[in-house]
Every structure is written in structure tokens, then in C-alpha cells.
Structure 1
């Protein structure tokens, strides 16, 4: 019996060795889709293409130097539900990889049974007891299982990059929401100051009207100016409240349980270095995810092509069967089997060819999506580079015009008190001064937004200052 089992094992191993020698992989060699990357940004000094791979960045928002923002970012990682969803998707991809790898190993099973029965040929009822074990292993001759594992690994890498992309996007959204909230606070403070000034103007015109120096129209114009400023003041308060609600939801908290102290001060806009990092394609998680999906699609071609080859499985069964447990382990009660099995679809109506064509089309789609992701990334960087530069210039002009507008308002107010100009001139000067102040705050917010987006576009941006 042992001699027969040994011979059977030898024949099975010989079949396996012959199959492995004749084995050939069915997955086409993977090559990253070619991209015609320019040697430099149009709006900056340096750009060099690099290999797409996920590089997790540190606390990039620290360049804004705002401790409240730093604290909110730390809370974001803990509470945001979208980030939790992305992490759950990553865990599912990790489990899928483990399941695909399990197919490379043999499967083992054991069984035990007992039964009692009687037939006409037996004088009495008979009890049968059996113990058995089985093993099977699909020989990956054509690389089907290996291709599935490669595809699962690539999808896991893409899922990890997706997780990082969601985190980066949420961090940038939190920063921009925070900047907008601080801008709304500053606008509210500016309007509050304007309201106080307009109230003094109303009192002044009423006093002048009572002594016959000003007209009723002057009083009406002063009151109209005051009411418009109050309406704008209410609007900025509404905007600030809604932005605070948005921050609460980003942090995974009900708006009723979240309050942020009013500061009415915007962070400073960080300087953008003249030399940008050369690792744009390395650092962006969306690009890394797109490239990994191309690799996964390429592996799926191998899976589809392997369907044209037979599936070879080695299986073995052994056990004991007898009337009593005491006699089970004796040689006469032994049974076993060992041998390979092969299965191949002879005719499928073109289903396998369609599967290969579909996999190839999916790979082409993934490659096109990768190229489009790279192009979109380049556009985003270029757009925000030019925004950073032009908004700085715009802010300079607004600061200069603000000084001129304040000077013009003082002169016009004195002229009105002297009776040399009408109150319409005062209203125009007040409107201009307030409009410029609000435009300056809005430009500061847009400069922060452009810097924030550029940091996001570069997946962490330029070198960060050391921690305090």
C-alpha cells in the first residue's frame, strides 16, 4: 500500500514539475502610460517629472502659522466621516488582497461521519464509521492566480492613495473654510466700524438740518447709507455662522456642539518659493491612484487570457472506513486517491475572447484616465501659481488705493462741514472707502485660497518650517 502511495505521489509531482517547466505567464509586461511632460512650469521656475508613488506628507498647513487651524486639522483626522469611509474602503481592498493570495496555497479539509443501516444481504444492522482528509491545489501554470494577486495588490495601492487623496482634500477644504470664516469675521468688524461712522454721520446731518444748514435729503441719504451697512453687517454674520456649521460637519460634530471664538484676523499669506519641488508626480495621491489602476487593469488582461488555457488541479483524498472506531486505523480499512485534474472550455461562443477584449479596453480607459489626471494636475498647479502672483499684485494696488480713499473721505467730510460740497459727495467717498476695504479683505482671502490650493496641488507643497 505504501509503495502504491509513493508511486502515486511521484507521478503527481512529475506531472506538476512538467507543467511548471512548460508554464508561461499570460499577463502582458506592465509599462506606465507614456506622458509628454514639459521640462518646466509655464508659471514657475522648475519642474521635473518623477515616478508616481504615494508619499504621505506632514502637517503642510503649518506654513500659515495659525494655531487654531493646527488644532482643527488634528480634530479632522479623528472625526471626519468621509475619511472614515475611505479608510473602510482601504480595509476592504486589503481583505480582497488576502483572499486572492489564499488561492495560491493548497486547501485542506477533514471529515468524520457515522451511519447505521441494514440491507437484505446482511443478517443484522451494520454501523459504519469513517474519518477522511482531502487536499487540493490549483497549479498556477498560466499565471491566472498570480495576475489576480497582482491586480488585487495594485487595487490596494490605489485604495491607499485614494484614502490619502480624501484626507488631503478634506484638509484643504477645512483650511479654506477656516479662512473664509475669518474673512467673514473681519468683514463683520469692518462693517461694524462703518455702521458706527454712519451713525455719527446721521447725527451730524440731523444737527445740521435742525439749524437749517443741511437739507432733509441729506438726512435721508445718511440714513439710507446706515441701513445698507446694517444689512451688509447682518449678511456677514449669517455667512460666518454657516461657515462655522461647515467646520463642525468637517470635524464630524453636530453644529450645535461646536463653537469657534471670534478673532476677526486672517493668517498671513505664505511666500511661494521660486523653485518648486520636482516630485509633483510622486507626491499627488490622485496620480498615484490612477497609475495603480492602470497596473490593476493590466493584470486583469492576464486573468482574461489565462481562460484560454486548461485549469490544472492536484487533489488527494485519504481516510479510514470501518465498522468500529477500534478497527479504523488498521490497514484493510484505508482508502486514498491522488491525481491531477484538468478542465478546459472547448466552446464558449466567443465569451473568452470578449473577456480579453473587455479587459484590454478597461486597461486603455485606465491609461487615458491616468494621462488626464496628470494633465489636470499640471493645469491646477499652473492656475494657482498665476493666482498667487497676480493676487499679490492686486493686493498691493488695493492697499495703495485704500490709503487714498481714506484721505479723500476725510477731505470730503471737512468740505461738507464747511458747506462747500453736498452730502452726496460724502456718501460717495464713504462707499468707495468701505468697498475698497472689503475688496482688500476678499483679496487676502483669495490669496490664502490660492496658496492653500497650490499646497494641495503639490500634495504638501514646499518645505515646511520646523515645529515650534
Structure 2
């Protein structure tokens, strides 16, 4: 009867605490004062009447807008083999492992122990004056325990670890964005250097023709020797400029090899011309931008983790209860298994550290860390908006410049064609026709540089928009964050 009464008393003291479980600390939600909630941050990005961009949604694989097979193939290879992606994928797997490690604390913990020793016990320990004989002693047992999460410490730790895993996944997505952009940029730079090299070679060829003409005029006495020296100097200057275009093309090839996870080599890729868009560049709006940008999602998840850690620290102010049971045998080795060596126990273990151990300052520290995380989150939001608007503005102005250069090139082409007709009719000298062709080629070279800048600014804008990570393959891992992480992203 006494044993039953003791058991009922134990259950009666523990059950009310179990049913009174609570989760201390603040419940996380995106703060109302966070800049990501501001109407200005969620407004449209495209100004009325813009022909450079549209408010259409940014596609998952933006590089496919170029409709360039070589670009598509290079990006797919980079997404699988790039070394930075492999590092980010490994960091994500580590974060996932840490999350599951924290989750395991919610499970029943078990242990087995076994020991045997030959020992000399002190007789005084048994209130004996004589010496105790040397004995062979054994101790074997098993134990199980379960931590009762009365105040939500494990729940908050689980929230923090899950948010960290999701932040690592966003970091991986950010690396994907950078890898895709850098791969396309390397391809564009190689194409641009090739186009500019060809334009410079055409200009040099025309200047060499001018040198030949000037030489003939000097021999005929119709021009001064100084004119020939000047023509040769201009040809030499143009010839000296050719290596810089070759160097840029080689550097782009080396960069592209590294992006593909290969040793630097002069990769021979087919470039039929700079990638171009056939319609205004889709940019969406501010709200879609902030949902899509991986660095914004990463900062938001880091804020969620810091808020959850406030609950972990707060739970240290309250008692910890662990329910446990153990059984085993302890005694002289030859007697193990007999009734006198059997022991067992069951019951709760309560520990409670008083606030004087620094728990309250620790909570204040976690709150300060949360404030810092919110400030970082706001800063990332501002950076995302600044980068996108700056890239969009630069792209629009370069398009205007490109359109002006194209009109000038067309006018120069008409003038050169007219001078060739007049020269054929004997109405102007060959030198006049040649100079018109030289002006045309010079404008073509300037236009080629502008075309390259348009393509590069398109890539920069797509990178600022933060797309390209959706549905991408995992380069070095087959695991993914637990399904319940899908419901924790900010809105």
C-alpha cells in the first residue's frame, strides 16, 4: 500500500506540470516595422513608358530568354560542377545535420553501461577497522530518460536550428545566382572581346590602305613625308591595341573554365554573336524581388533564428525535468545476478539554476542580437532595392546610348556608301572615300563596345533581381531540408 501511495503521489506531482507546458520567449513573425513591409519597398520597379524593362515576372531560368544553346549548356554545366556551389551545398548539409541533431533531443535517450574491476575497498567506508579483502566487482545496467520540455526550450532550439538550415539553403541559392551570372558574364566578355577584335582589325586594315595611298602620294610629290609618318603612327597605334582584345578574350576563356569547375584553359566555345533579348527585360515589382532574392530570405531566416534563441535563453530561468528509469546489477562478480545485486529506479529528476548564474544577462544579450539581426535584415532589403534600381537605371541609359550610336553608325554607313559612289564616278578622291570608311569602322567599334555593355548590364540586372536558383540541381548533395521548412519563409 505504501509503494502504491508513493507512486500515486509521484504521478500526481508530475502530471500537472506536464499539462501546464508552455513555450517561453517571443513567437516569431516578420516585425511590422521591418523595411520589407514598407509600401515603398514593395512598389513597382519600372517607370511608366519605359521600353527597357517590363513588369512581367522574372522567369526561373532567365538566361533562356537569350535563346542561345551555348549559354544554356554552359549554365547547366556550371550549376553542377562549380566549386563554390559544392562548398555551399556542403554547408547546407551541415546545417541540416545540426537541425536533426537538435531534433533528436526530443526523443527518449538511452544508455548502457558495463564495467568490471579488481579493487581494494577501504574498510572505513563500511565502518570497519579491519582490511577488506581484494574483490572482483562488476557493474552492469541500462537506463532510459526523457526530457520534459515544460517551457519550450527544445521547441525554441528546434526553431532556431531549422531557421539556420533554411538560411544556409538561401545562402546556397545566392551562390547559384552569382554562379549563373558570372558564367554568362564570362561568355559575354569573350564574345565582346572577339567582336571588338574583329572591328579593330577592320580599322587597321583601312589604316594600312591609307598608309599605302599616302606613300604613293609622297612619291608622286603630292603629299609631305610627314603625312606618311603620321599615317604609319596611326597604323602602329591600332596594331598595338590588338593584343588587349586578345588578352580579354583569353581571360574570359580562363574564367569560364573555372566557373565550370575545370582548370583554366583556353576554352573554345562557339560564339555566334552577343546574347540579345528580343523583348523588354522582365523585372517584376519590389514585392516579388524581395521574395525572390536569396540574401533577403537568408537575412530573414537569421532574424527568425535569433528570436528563437531568446526563448532558449529564457527557458534557462525555469526548472528542467527529466523522467528516467534504470536497472542493473552491481556487486561481487561471482554474485552478479542474485537478488542482492539487482537494483532499479524510476522517477523524475528536477534541476533548477537560479538567475544569479548569468541567465538574465544572457537573455538581454540574445535580445540585442535579435535587434542586430533585424538591422541586418533591413540593410539587406535596402541593398537589394538599391542594386536593382541602380542596375535598371544603368541598363536603361546604356540602351539610350546604344540607340544613339546605332543611328550615328547608320548615318556614317550612308555617307561612306555615297563617297564610294562619288569616287567611282571620279567626283571625289580615293582619300575622301577612305576617310569615310574609316569613320564608319570607328563608329562600328564604338557600337560593338556599347553592345557589349548592354549585354553585361543585362546580366548585372538579372543578378540584382536574384533569380535563377529555382529548380536548380544540388551539386554535391541528395538531401533537403525537412518539409516543414517550406512553411517558414517570410511573406
TM class, shorter-chain normalised?
A: 0.7 to 0.9
Aligned to 2:80: 78
- Is it true that 1:458 corresponds to 2:465 in the alignment? yes
Worse overlay, 333-342 or 382-391: 382-391
Q: Distance in 2 between matches of 1:113 and 1:100?
A: 30
In structure 2, relative to structure 1, the CA distance for the partners of 1:281 and 1:130 (3 Å cut) is: same
Cα deviation 1:232-280 (Å, max 9, x = unaligned) = 2111111111111111111221113x52246362122342267836632
1:149-228 to 2 correspondence within 5 Å? 149-228=158-237
Whole-Å Cα distance in 2 between the matches of residues 175 and 48 of structure 1? 22
Distance of aligned partners of 1:421 and 1:304 in 2 relative to their CA distance in 1, 3 Å threshold: farther
Q: Give yes or no for contact 1:100–1:152 (8 Å, CA) kept in 2.
A: yes
SS in 1 for 2:197: helix
2:203–2:442: 8 Å Cα contact kept in structure 1? no
Q: 1:194 to 1:348 in 2, by over 3 A?
A: same
SS at match of 2:22: coil
TM-aligned CA distance change 1:157 to 1:142, over 3 Å: same
Stretch of structure 1 that moved more, 243-252 or 184-193: 243-252
Mean Cα deviation higher: 280-289 or 263-272: 263-272
Distance 1:373 1:208 in 2: 66
Deviations 1:449-468 (A, max 9, x none): 2322333333338x9xxxxx
Please report how far the alpha carbon of residue 166 of structure 1 lies from its aligned counterpart in structure 2 after TM superposition: 0.6
TM-score normalised by L of structure 1: 0.85
Contact 2:141 2:326 in 1 (8 A): yes
Distance (whole Å) between structure 2 residues aligned to residue 370 and residue 347 of structure 1 = 32
Deviations 1:1-34 (A, max 9, x none): x994x77665554443222233322120212033
Deviations 1:39-71 (A, max 9, x none): 63253468799xxxxx9x743211112211112
> For 1:9 and 1:394, how far apart are their aligned partners in 2?
87
Partner of 1:67: 69
| Unpaired stretches in structure 2, ≥5 consecutive residues | 49-53, 124-129, 471-491
8 Å contact kept, 1:69–1:178? yes
| Residue 242 (structure 1) aligns with | 251
Provide, for residues 89-131 of structure 1, a one-character-per-residue CA deviation record: whole Å limited to 9, x for no partner.
Answer: 1111111101111212232111122334567869976443332
Distance 2:320 2:385 in 1: 46
Cα RMSD (Å): 3.4
Count, aligned residues? 450
Query: Hey, what does 1:113 align to over in structure 2?
Result: 115
* Range moving further from structure 2, 296-305 or 279-288: 279-288
Q: Are the structure 2 counterparts of residues 270 and 332 from structure 1 closer, same or farther at C-alpha, using a change threshold of 3 Å?
A: farther
Contact 2:45 2:55 in 1 (8 A): no
Residue in structure 2 matched with residue 466 of structure 1 by the alignment: none
Residue aligning to 2:43: 40
**How big is the shift at 1:300?**
0.8
Alignment counterpart, residue 338 of structure 1, candidates 319, 342, 346: 346
- In the TM superposition, 1:46-445 aligns within 5 A as 58-117=60-119, 126-256=135-265, 258-261=266-269, 263=271, 265-272=273-280, 276=284, 279-323=288-332, 328-346=336-354, 348=356, 351-409=358-416, 432-445=439-452
Normalising by structure 2, we get a TM-score of 0.81
Partner of 2:15: 17
